A and B are shown apart, each in its own frame.
Chain A
Amino acid sequence: MLSVSVENVSKVYRLGEINRKQFFSDIRRWTKGKSRASHGFGEQEPGATDLFYALKNISFQVEEGETLGIIGANGAGKSTLLKLLSRITLPSTGRIRLKGRMGSLLEVGSGFNGDMTGRENIYMKGVIMGMKRKEISAKFDAIVAFAGTEKFLETPVKRYSSGMGMRLAFSVAAFLEPEILIVDEVLTVGDQQFKDRCIARIEDVIKGGCTILFVSHVGELVRQVCRRGLYLKSGSLMYLGDVDTALDKYEAVVKAEAENAITVHPTSGKEY
């Protein structure tokens, strides 16, 4: 059974600022009766210079219980892909289908309110991610023990150290028990001990039959967690298959590019 299916998905962004100029060009488009600026990017006529394709015609499928590592350099479209999969923004073309509850460890610190206590934030974060209050109560002790913040439960989160806050946020997400789990660079939070605990937790989740989409720059981690790999480069899917092959291809490209000197492109020369 499939867990994720992505078909011909592209995501287009418009470059530049949204301001008065933008407003008038929207109006011009509108009055000309052309297709409306339905995506907030204006029309997507091919070749338009102010458009940026963050993802170009991506298709892939993930089986239930599979672990897929998504790799690529900065700006390859990994985060955009995750945003689309976690339904934060809609694709410009194509279709994404998902089966089951989706949990994401995307920038876990969000959704915390500094004025609220650790306890309140655990509940708040949990319901934002789609849990019920009852579920959270049932897992509460485990979440707190995992984060190791027992002493600070009744203290406003704004007085937490940054590592403590992140740990607490990660713990809530780690106990969501989703059917699809998206993990994005979260393992950079916390110290080595917490990192190990996180990886152990992710491995537990994998054993439980959860589908994992894992994004990391650290090749070792990807190899450790994932069996399949998806390699993105400038918005295009370069390779999908065995994780070792995907990483090899990625690393080969990185090496080749490192040998090229940085080229400076002349800009319009406008000073800020």
Chain B
Amino acid sequence: MLRYLYRTTGNRQTAEDLFQETFRRVHEKANSFNGNNFRSWLYAIATNLAINEFRKRKRRPEISLEHIAESKNAKCENGNCQFVETLTANEKTEPGAQILREELKTRVWAAVNSLPAKQRLTLVMAYYQQMKYSEIADVLGCSTGAVKTHMFRALKHLRRVLPDGPGGAL
């Protein structure tokens, strides 16, 4: 769930806030659960919170932290984030590869974040969370066809803007 919120909002702090709020609401609304599909119900709550967050951002734009600073290698204290070297065994042998990978992540994030809200949510649920389109339709409260349309548009957009690979095309 935190992964989902993180990938939709692109901000760790926001994702954590929404994560907390999601479970608070789940608990609060436990009696309203209809017993059909818990995951869809859970995601619906989280997604609504995410959409509200997007709206807030539209009204009050804020600069999100760089993805690198948000990654596992970042250590944040009092809002100041510092890049911390935590190389894995493989990365130790190829420090250059790690730098290229971090750069790639940043560019992919930029591409995903450039998608409209519903397309982004659809992409994250379908691609990263491996949810069925019908499940996503339940979450978003729309038809499966509409979900597929969101997905198709998202992919068309990403086809253009996604980077080629680590370090870019040679």
Q: Do A and B come from one complex?
A: no
Residues of B that sit less than 8 Å from A by CB: none
